[in-house]
């Protein structure tokens, strides 16, 4: 490999580096609850470091992972539709039917695929800690690529459900009913409901570092709550509304408005401007105090060395 090629690779790598305290100091912050001022800060650091890794990933890797996530989200519509058909008239079927909503999330999160609403908290924390222009550009790049990939994947899944000879007519009717139930919301209701689902997803992500082996139960309970509350979600909802578009019940423009734009804005608002901002705010003073204590300790150590050097002379 010649020198010019090596320089291009190095420059490309530098462009994808998140600007952070660790990179400036050359020292990585250890996620150790006993060494950090609070448990909340330990969780914050764990999620923030995950967010930095996601922001620095190659764009094509992010896109393919996001497309896979969009396809996987088709499992939510599939499970919910099948439960709706096969449990019709069964007492409590509402609860089990909405449990089907969790299937896509389980696949996506356990398979570590890229889901847009997960990134509304994970990738935002590095920007909140160090809000530079470069970090904001990396966040915008991540959001744009992941959202595009999720929508491509959901469109493929919805197309397959409509045009491939897989499902019987009652199941197809159930898919239509699920989608039309979403479209009964006004744009303001889409936005308001999406704030709740964005906040719940962000809460779920915040719980992961402490969940351990119970992670799958956290996913099930939190996403089941989203379904039971009948809230809107940009990725799951995209499968449902794309299905209506492909079978002719809706025009393409109706996907964008009243569904996609208000729902996207609500998810971002709930996950970023409410949860991530509050989560960062609660540990901000801990971070400032930790840095002051570290600076004080370094000054004390430097003074001690100077005194030792003076006595040695």
Q: Is residue 309, in this structure, part of any structural domain at all? A: no
CB 113 within 8 A of CB 69: yes
Q: What is the pLDDT of residue 89?
A: 87
Q: Is residue 103, in this structure, part of any structural domain at all? A: yes
Residue 300 pLDDT greater than 60, yes or no: yes
Q: Is the pTM of this model over 0.85?
A: no
Mean pLDDT is lowest, of 227-231, 265-269, 299-303, for 299-303
Q: Is residue 22, in this structure, part of any structural domain at all? A: no
Q: Is residue 152, in this structure, part of any structural domain at all? A: yes
Q: Kindly report, residue by residue over 196-252, the tens digit of the pLDDT.
A: 999 999 999 989 988 989 999 999 999 999 999 999 999 999 999 999 999 999 999
Q: Is residue 21, in this structure, part of any structural domain at all? A: no
Q: Is residue 60, in this structure, part of any structural domain at all? A: yes
Q: What is the pLDDT of residue 120?
A: 77
pLDDT category at 99 given cuts 50, 70, 90 is very high
Q: What is the pLDDT of residue 287?
A: 60
CATH number assigned to the domain comprising residue 246: 1.20.1080.10
Count of structural domains, the chain: 1
Mean pLDDT is lowest, of 10-14, 79-83, 99-103, 224-228, for 10-14
Q: How far is CA 279 from CA 3, 118, 187, 204, 247, in A?
A: 45, 15, 28, 13, 42
Phi, psi angles (nearest 5°) of residue 38: -155, 160
Q: Kindly report, residue by residue over 21-62, the tens digit of the pLDDT.
A: 555 554 555 555 555 556 667 777 888 888 888 999 999 999
The parent domain of residue 167 ranges over 36-284
Q: Is residue 31, in this structure, part of any structural domain at all? A: no
Q: Is residue 123, in this structure, part of any structural domain at all? A: yes
């Amino acid at each position: 490999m010649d020198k010019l090629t090596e320089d291009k690779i190095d420059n490309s790598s530098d462009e994808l580096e998140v600007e952070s305290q660790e990179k400036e100091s050359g020292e990585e912050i250890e996620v150790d609850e006993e060494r950090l001022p609070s448990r909340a800060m330990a969780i914050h650091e764990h999620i923030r470091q995950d967010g930095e890794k996601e922001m620095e990933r190659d764009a094509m890797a992010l896109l393919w992972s996001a497309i896979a996530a969009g396809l996987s989200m088709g499992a939510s519509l599939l499970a919910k539709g099948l439960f709706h058909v096969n449990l019709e008239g069964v007492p409590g079927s509402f609860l089990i039917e909405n449990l089907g909503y969790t299937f896509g999330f389980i696949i996506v999160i356990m398979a570590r695929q890229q889901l847009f609403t997960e990134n509304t908290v994970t990738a935002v924390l590095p920007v909140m800690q160090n809000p530079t222009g470069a970090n904001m550009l990396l966040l915008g790049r991540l959001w744009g690529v992941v959202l595009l990939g999720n929508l491509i994947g959901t469109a493929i899944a919805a197309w397959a459900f409509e045009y491939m000879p897989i499902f019987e007519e009652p199941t197809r009717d159930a898919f239509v009913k699920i989608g039309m139930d979403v479209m009964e919301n006004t744009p303001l209701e889409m936005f308001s409901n999406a704030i709740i689902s964005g906040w719940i997803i962000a809460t779920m992500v915040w719980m992961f570092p402490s969940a351990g082996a119970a992670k799958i139960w956290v996913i099930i309970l939190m996403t089941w709550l989203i379904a039971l509350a009948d809230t809107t979600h940009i990725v799951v909802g995209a499968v449902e509304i794309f299905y209506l578009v492909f079978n002719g019940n809706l025009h393409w423009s109706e996907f964008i408005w009243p569904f996609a734009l208000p729902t996207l804005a609500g998810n971002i608002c709930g996950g970023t401007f409410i949860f991530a901002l509050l989560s960062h705010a609660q540990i901000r003073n801990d971070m400032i105090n930790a840095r002051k204590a570290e600076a004080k300790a370094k000054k004390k150590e430097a003074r001690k060395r100077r005194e030792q050097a003076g006595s040695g002379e």
